[in-house]
Amino acid sequence: MLVSLIALASSLAYIGSDVAELLYRGFSPTQLYVTYAAFVVVPFFVLGFHALQRPRSGWLSLIGAVCYGASFIFYAATAIHALVDRTPDYASLAHDLGALCYSGLR
């Protein structure tokens, strides 16, 4: 139950962060902190979901959980980058990160 509640809270926090970004037409420090908090817990609850499925799930499930969780470590780092550099919006972040964050925005 705890793993599910953390997953739900993280997802709702991220949706709220996206709504704030849309309403304010860009990033704000508070919005980026919420985004970071939402991303940083993902590896833990993904591994928690994997653990809850043991022993039915096998190695492939573990590999998938680790890879998916690791991708959110990168996403959390992008929020920190935007905070440190005071990046104004996603287009600027995508420009700063280049190929690491390709979005097609120009």
Question: How many domains is the chain built from?
Answer: 1
The pLDDT, as a whole number, for residue 106 is 47
In a domain, 11, yes or no: yes
In a domain, 106, yes or no: no
The pLDDT, as a whole number, for residue 26 is 92
Q: What is the pLDDT of residues 23-41, one digit of tens each?
A: 999 999 999 999 999 999 9
Render the chain in DSSP notation, one character per residue. Answer: -HHHHHHHHHHHHHHHHHHHHHHTTS--HHHHHHHHHHHHTHHHHHHHHHHHHTTTS-HHHHHHHHHHHHHHHHHHHHHHHHHHHT--SHHHHHHHHGGGG--S--
The list of the chain residues with pLDDT below 50 reads 105-106
Q: What is the pLDDT of residues 90-100, one digit of tens each?
A: 889 988 888 66
Task: Let me know the angle formed at the C-alpha of 91 by 74 and 14, rounded to the nearest 5 degrees.
Answer: 50
- Structural domain for 70, as ranges: 2-101
In a domain, 19, yes or no: yes
